[in-house]
Amino acid sequence: MKLVADPSLQRWDEGRTVAGGSPYRIMRLTPRGAELLDGWLAGEPVTTGSSLAHRLVRVGMVHPEHESASLRPGDVTVVIPVHGALPDELLAAVEGLAVVVVDDGSPTPVPGAAVRHDTPRGPAAARNAGWRLADTSVVAFLDADTVPAPGWLDTLLRHFTTPEVAAVAPRVRSRQGVSALERFERTCSPLDLGSQAGPVVPGSRISYVPTAALLIRTTVLAELGGFDEDMRFGEDVDLVWRLTARHQARYEPAAIVEHAPRPSWPALLRQRYGYGCSAGPLGSRHGEHVAPARISSWSALTWLLIALGRPRLALAVTGAAAVLLTRKLGALGIPARESITLAVRGNLGAARLLADCAGRAWAPLAIPPLLLSKRGRVVLALVAARHLTEPRELDPLRHTLARVAEDAAYGCGVLRGVLRERSTTALRPVLTDRGGRSSVPVTGGPA
């Protein structure tokens, strides 16, 4: 195994202090640990110090590169749940693999299906019926509207060389198209988690992966009892979060699986609404994992004061937080200038998170009162304007309007799920330094 640095990785004090990953954290290495990391980043394979290497991988500061896989395509069973027709393009992409097709109550029976439900029972039940027929080491879930790109399976199987890795997900990209909807989905599909690899950790940059395309060890599926069939939406997030509580999962964007976009704008909004509805049940099952934002109390206070029209007091709070952080990180060999930069980036990141909350998860509750005042309307304009900084294929106006609409649909779903569950967990942000904990986790490092 070789290691490559995550773009977030930073080092100070002759390489002994390292920082990065998601959630962002700082580790202090021994001289020997710093020497090993120097070699790994220069391209040397991991032959000694594997405990340090695996720890850096788990926190997302570095990522593994495996030259070969211990498993082969013959060790994989592909499970395809389908309601309707099974596309020939997908069947061609998985030709030569063991395939289990589950017909989830299609109006016309699907030819060759191993299981047929008389009535639709949902994706969780369909996937459960399929993986329980597998006799291979790994199950690959693929939705019927996906098509894997060449080489996808070999790329993912390499990660199972690490015994602790129980699941690996590819990048799920919306197919290229020419219509406005297809172009919008290409850059804004909720299934597309981006081009940067990393561990799957609740509350991090990659907090979940969809099971529209996912490889998972069969023994782990059995251990977890499969999908929760009571959940119509969010059953994949629930499974992944139960898995990551015991095992490791990784996201590997070098493997690509293309996904069909929604057939219409109303269908897209219904999908986003359904995703939002899952937040309430997920909150009941997983607590703070479903929080709409994680920010430090310092940043939360700063932006609250700005929203209340108290910029001078907000500046004082920011300065106090920067001084405290500079003192704390200075003891770890981090220069004061870097500490101040971290504090500024933290506040700017918090502003984006709070804007996401106001325009998305909190939208049905936040927008009406904000519309009543001039300052509130300015805030809403800034919340909507954040979408102008995103990658897009549509013109700025249409992109922003589409994003605002899908955000509102998702927020309405969140509100409905919260009311059904009678729990506000899915609406409450997490303050990452409450109770005296640092918003920048600081840990010691092994040799």
Split at pLDDT 50, 70, 90, the class of 232 is confident
> Residue 322 has what pLDDT?
87
Question: Alpha helices of 189-264 — where are they, by DSSP H?
Answer: 218-224, 235-244
Decide if 193 contacts 251 (C-beta within 8 A). yes
> Residue 145 has what pLDDT?
94
Mean pLDDT over residues 257-281, rounded?
A: 95
Mean pLDDT over residues 392-397, rounded?
A: 94
Quote the CA–CA distance of 141 and 164 in Å, as a whole number: 20
Quote the CA–CA distance of 301 and 160 in Å, as a whole number: 44
Beta bridge partners of 171: 256
Mean pLDDT over residues 77-84, rounded?
A: 96
**Residue with tokens 């060999």, as numbered in its chain:** 333
> Residue 445 has what pLDDT?
38
Give the mean pLDDT of the chain.
92
Tell me the percentage of the chain whose pLDDT exceeds 90.
81
Split at pLDDT 50, 70, 90, the class of 434 is very low
> Residue 360 has what pLDDT?
95
Domains of the chain in sequence order: 2-65 (no CATH), 73-261 (3.90.550.10), 294-444 (no CATH)
Helix pair angle (31-41, 50-58), 10° resolution: 70
| Res. 437: pLDDT tops 80 | no
Least confident piece of the model among 90-94, 237-241, 319-323, 406-410: 319-323
Q: From its phi and psi, is residue 323 left (phi > 0), alpha (psi between -120 and 50) or beta?
A: alpha
Please give the model's pTM, rounded to 2 decimal places.
0.91
| Res. 23: pLDDT tops 90 | no
**Cβ count near 67 (within 10 Å):** 9
Residues 160-173 have pLDDT tens digits of 999 999 999 999 99
Amino acid of residue 334: I
Mean pLDDT over residues 422-438, rounded?
A: 75
Quote the CA–CA distance of 92 and 90 in Å, as a whole number: 5
Helix (H, G, I), strand (E, B) or coil at 187: helix
| Res. 186: pLDDT tops 50 | yes
Quote the CA–CA distance of 250 and 89 in Å, as a whole number: 27
Contact partners, residue 412, CB within 8 Å, separation at least 6: 273, 276, 363, 364
> Residue 97 has what pLDDT?
96
